[in-house]
Structure 1
Amino acid sequence: MLRSGPDNSRRRTTDFGGTIGAGQDLSVAIDRPGAIRRLSLNLEAQNLPQALRSTVLSIEFDGKQTVWVPVGEFFGRGYLSEPHQTWYTEVTEDGLMSTFWVMPFQESCKITLTNLGDQDVVIRDGSALVGRWEWDERSMYFHGCWHQLTEVSSFKEGATAPGEGAFDVNYVTVEGEGVFVGDTLTVFNGAAAWWGEGDEKIFVDGEAFPSHFGTGTEDYYGYAWCRPEYFASPFHAQPSGAGNLVPGFTVNSRYRSLDAIPFTRSIKFDMELWHWHHTTVNFAPASFWYARPGASWNIEPDPGTAALTVPQERSDIVEVYKVEGAIEGEDLKVLERTGGTVERQGGAQFRWSNEEQVWWKFGAEGDRLVLEFPVEAAGRYEVMASLTKAVDYGIVAISVDDTAAGRFDRFNNGVANDEVSLGVHTLAAGQHKLTVELVGSNPQAVDSYMFGLDYLRLVPKP
């Protein structure tokens, strides 16, 4: 079992908490020499994801601020993730967040939580466990910084293809003597494609070529094949990978112990942003390191960006194409399926409404799929269906309720879609059935019998 955290004997706890109004802050001072061994708090708000980003933790050691990181990133969870535990961080089921970095100081320490949002946030169970520390010529201050590339293009200017569109993002550049010990990357992906082919490039003490040159972002963070599954281990974690292969949120962390990177003059950490699609992303690294007094770094506090509304849906950062009045195929309930599999398929490049379709694949001739669609008001409607066509799509017979609506050959050289009429029907308010049967394939088609429904549209008729 993973065990982290300090031995509490001979240590004193400083507690803090309360409500922080919009634009306000809460501070706690520790006016004695020592080292923070554990820092914990629980944050509550009506909009918790927003509060995790727009509530910022800053720490001053001996009068100098060395930490400025949104609370969610400081504790390794971003703003939309599951409880997890690593060697240096823990988020419990009830939301208590803890970090176990040792953070020494010579005389005093000041911990401040600043609410940059427009809602109240409540801090509960806040505590700093402080133990003894004998400061000497080897002692270093703990540092943390954060910044975000907001709604940035995943391709550099002028690029039209993956690879040539990649570019480096600087996590941090530090001047001075210290040790680099970890980082957390929060991403909001704007496309149904992998965002993390890029390599880390870490330059130590001014070297011309990086002594650390990686093989992919997922390799750096301890996984492979852009997998979205949750995992947490002592030094790598993916509390959420929901945005790895589809639009959405991902947070990855890497913490270092035996592989911490010492530097005597400087360190520069770059991560290549290499995305398979040309889209819009948010890319937000937080970096953590120790440094001797006098060190400097290039990432400044950015309260304006930390206060921005956090995206939770693709449409929050990308303008999504939608057909007015569309009943989206990907949202329809499957009532019956005699073969194959059904899933939502995304693809902005295919010009589907809401950039998704319901995709029926691996069926065989004679298989049937029944979907349920809603009708809000009784009436007489022409039922229009936007159907996908491609080289491996089959011939289908479609019925509306029990009325045959037509036979459609969906073979095409290339992926496309068009709107076809399923006839005029008198429909009562409530739920109705759309039945699709695989009845054959075009002689030129690949016999995969695919079927895709982008949307239905009900056009009133007299």
Structure 2
Amino acid sequence: MHSLLRRCSLATFLLASVTSIGHAQGLADLAQPMEGRSMRATSAHRTGPDGKFDPNGEFDPNSNWDNKNLEPGKTRVLMEADGPGVVTHLWMTFLGPQKHTWAKDGSANHQEMLLRIFYDGSDRPAVEAPVGDFFANCFGKRAEVISVPVVVEDADSYNCFWHMPFRKSIRIEVVNESKKPVSLLYYNIDWIKKDTIAEDVPYFYAQYKQEYPVKQGSDYVILDTKGKGHFVGTVLAVRSRSPSWFGEGDEKVYIDGEEKPSIWGTGTEDYFLSAWGLKTTSTPYFGTPYFDQWGIVGGHTAAYRWHVQDPWVFNKSIKVTMEHFGWMSPDENPDYKSTSWNERQDDYSSVAFWYQTGTPTFDARAPHAKERVLPSIERKVIHPTAMLDSLDHGHGLVRQQDINNYPEGHVFFKPESEGEGWIEIPFTVEKKEPLRLLVNATRAEDYGKYKATLDGVAIGGTMDFYNNEIDDWEYHLLDFWPEPGEHVLRMECVGRNHKSSGNYIGIESVRLRERRPRVIEMGHDKDKDWKEKPTLYN
């Protein structure tokens, strides 16, 4: 309860800070006369003369059924209107992907929902991005964002305040590219109907793209377009495929056709206005809504940067790029050294936000949701729940629990004493190749500290499974080239955190995660006996 109050207080404080910081110029604008008429497109329930739902009917004061479900493969038009006009605010909400009383089998996640906005009858969307990524919520994960143009309060109310002018017409739609429905979709879109829109007023654009993994020998391109306008924001999502820090790469921006970039940054975290790495945060103009674990193989980072006060202005063209350089583990380095300046092979996706007159020339398009899902990097996933009756363990209670929305649940072990706190998980290796061994486990307020051995050899450090809230965490243990055959991972209790009330353990899975192909090509550790010097690169 106390942690919930702290989160609510922080969110309230941040919202108040954004309001108080405000747009000084925006507040001044409110004291000026305004032209036009306010309008709204909404999911509020309407009925026709026959009393049945009619999107063009009258608002129904006797109904609270203001949400709409969107079945797989279907498109919901949220707004379709004639211009001139300016959209000033878009709000939507819907159920998360978890099973719910109103969605027994779960729902689509926001990465599987595609937001598209069309201006003036064009068949090419000016805005095309997964709903989540457009609101700086990447990887299909829900996260709170408290910023000036985008606010996702409590990780479930999606707001944007980008102004979107249109002249002839506008159509805003959401496409459900999931195999599950979008459940309980609510929306309100506020706009102002205008008499005219000046010829030099630019349109608002947002375009998603991805590279899984990034292309070797060329910087990652966030935006490349010809015309006149100004760049106003970036959302970037990175799934690391190598150990260590990915973000040493600089932003490089080419203005008006220049061959060498005149805007050149000092590092990825510096572009996102942080320093010495990234951590979870949300501020009016920059933030990192999602950051799971530092320096691991398979870590996720999502950050946003809004150029509201400092737009990049271009008259002929702009090309916004990001280097994908960072630290590298010795077994991925030709010289078997750990250095900070190596071209990495991580998975990148992004959304570029900009204003431009005319038609952009950026040819990126959002692939289908099934292609937006990050490819699996697991060589083998061992679920101990599948072998519950045959697991070797000390005396105590062992059972399967459905917790944390694990698809297979986890094995919960409550030993009778610290000395009985051990459990063994066997697995088979099919071929000799470089792999990373890790355990995905539950953390809770009554869980203990454990150490691991593999085939009797101590690996990794002490794993503390205590946390004041229930969550899951990856514990990375070993980089090795295991011999084909049978292996046994043993987890043994070595005590408890002084805050913990127990020495329990909950294991969702043991995972063998693939390493990049260049680890095989270089083969630095191929002929080494991992048992002599167990190594975890970080």
TM-score by length of 2: 0.58
> Residues 180 and 260 of structure 1 are in contact (CA less than 8 Å); yes or no, is this contact kept in structure 2?
yes
**Deviation (angstroms), 1:249:** 1.9
**Structure 1, residues 124-160: CA drift from partner, whole Å, max 9, x if none?**
331110024441122011111111112x2x683xxxx
SS in 2 for 1:296: coil
> Residues 459 and 534 of structure 2 are in contact (CA less than 8 Å); yes or no, is this contact kept in structure 1?
yes
**Deviation (angstroms), 1:242:** 1.5
> Residues 52 and 71 of structure 1 are in contact (CA less than 8 Å); yes or no, is this contact kept in structure 2?
yes
**1:203 equivalent in alignment to 2:265:** no
> Residues 57 and 114 of structure 1 are in contact (CA less than 8 Å); yes or no, is this contact kept in structure 2?
yes
The 2-side partners of 1:245 and 1:259 are apart by 31
> Residues 238 and 348 of structure 2 are in contact (CA less than 8 Å); yes or no, is this contact kept in structure 1?
yes
Query: Which of 113, 118, 121 is residue 55 of structure 1 equivalent to?
Result: 113
Match for residue 283 of structure 1?
A: 348
**Structure 1, residues 355-410: CA drift from partner, whole Å, max 9, x if none?**
4699xxxxxxxxxx97489xxxxxxxxx9423249xxx9xxxxxxxxxxxxxxxxx
**Structure 1, residues 164-188: CA drift from partner, whole Å, max 9, x if none?**
xx74111121111111111101122
Query: Which of 136, 154, 164 is residue 198 of structure 2 equivalent to?
Result: 136
**Structure 1, residues 20-54: CA drift from partner, whole Å, max 9, x if none?**
11111001202232100001111325358962112
Match for residue 292 of structure 1?
A: 357
- Which structure 1 residue ranges, 5 or more long, are not aligned? 157-165, 338-349, 359-368, 374-382, 394-414, 420-430, 437-450, 455-462
Match for residue 354 of structure 1?
A: 437
Match for residue 136 of structure 2?
A: 76
**Deviation (angstroms), 1:282:** 2.2
SS in 2 for 1:37: strand
Distance 1:352 1:103, change over 3 A: closer
**1:146 equivalent in alignment to 2:162:** no
Opposite residue 205 of structure 2, the aligned amino acid is H
SS in 2 for 1:2: helix
SS in 2 for 1:22: coil
Number of paired residues?
357
> Residues 322 and 353 of structure 1 are in contact (CA less than 8 Å); yes or no, is this contact kept in structure 2?
no
- Which structure 2 residue ranges, 5 or more long, are not aligned? 1-16, 44-66, 99-105, 333-343, 394-410, 420-432, 442-447, 462-478, 484-489, 496-532
Paired residues for 1:257-336 under 5 Å: 257-277=308-328, 281-302=346-367, 304=368, 306-308=369-371, 310-311=373-374, 316-319=376-379
**Structure 1, residues 183-235: CA drift from partner, whole Å, max 9, x if none?**
101122234421111111110100111111111111001112223x2111111
The 2-side partners of 1:294 and 1:309 are apart by 26
Match for residue 387 of structure 1?
A: 458
> Residues 281 and 317 of structure 1 are in contact (CA less than 8 Å); yes or no, is this contact kept in structure 2?
no
Higher mean C-alpha deviation, range 272-281 or range 129-138: 272-281
Match for residue 33 of structure 1?
A: 84
Match for residue 423 of structure 2?
A: none
The 2-side partners of 1:351 and 1:67 are apart by 42
Please say which structure displays the higher CA radius of gyration: 1
Distance 1:387 1:126, change over 3 A: same
Match for residue 241 of structure 1?
A: 291
The 1-side partners of 2:308 and 2:352 are apart by 15
SS in 2 for 1:308: helix
The 1-side partners of 2:345 and 2:282 are apart by 28
Opposite residue 93 of structure 1, the aligned amino acid is D
> Residues 322 and 354 of structure 1 are in contact (CA less than 8 Å); yes or no, is this contact kept in structure 2?
no
**Deviation (angstroms), 1:333:** 9.3
Query: Which of 8, 15, 23 is residue 73 of structure 2 equivalent to?
Result: 23
Paired residues for 1:148-227 under 5 Å: 148-150=210-212, 152=213, 156=216, 167-227=218-278
SS in 2 for 1:219: helix
**Deviation (angstroms), 1:416:** 7.9
Match for residue 339 of structure 2?
A: none
**Deviation (angstroms), 1:240:** 1.1
Match for residue 458 of structure 1?
A: none
The 2-side partners of 1:49 and 1:327 are apart by 38
Paired residues for 1:87-102 under 5 Å: 87-93=148-154, 95-102=156-163
> Residues 333 and 372 of structure 1 are in contact (CA less than 8 Å); yes or no, is this contact kept in structure 2?
no
The 2-side partners of 1:102 and 1:323 are apart by 49
SS in 1 for 2:162: coil
RMSD: 4.2
Query: Which of 175, 185, 188 is residue 124 of structure 1 equivalent to?
Result: 185
**Structure 1, residues 70-104: CA drift from partner, whole Å, max 9, x if none?**
10111111122421211100001161101000000
> Residues 357 and 452 of structure 1 are in contact (CA less than 8 Å); yes or no, is this contact kept in structure 2?
no
Distance 1:49 1:236, change over 3 A: farther
Opposite residue 308 of structure 2, the aligned amino acid is S
The 1-side partners of 2:365 and 2:233 are apart by 18
Match for residue 5 of structure 2?
A: none
Distance 1:104 1:244, change over 3 A: farther
Distance 1:123 1:99, change over 3 A: farther
Distance 1:106 1:189, change over 3 A: same
Higher mean C-alpha deviation, range 34-43 or range 3-12: 3-12
SS in 1 for 2:110: helix
Match for residue 161 of structure 1?
A: none
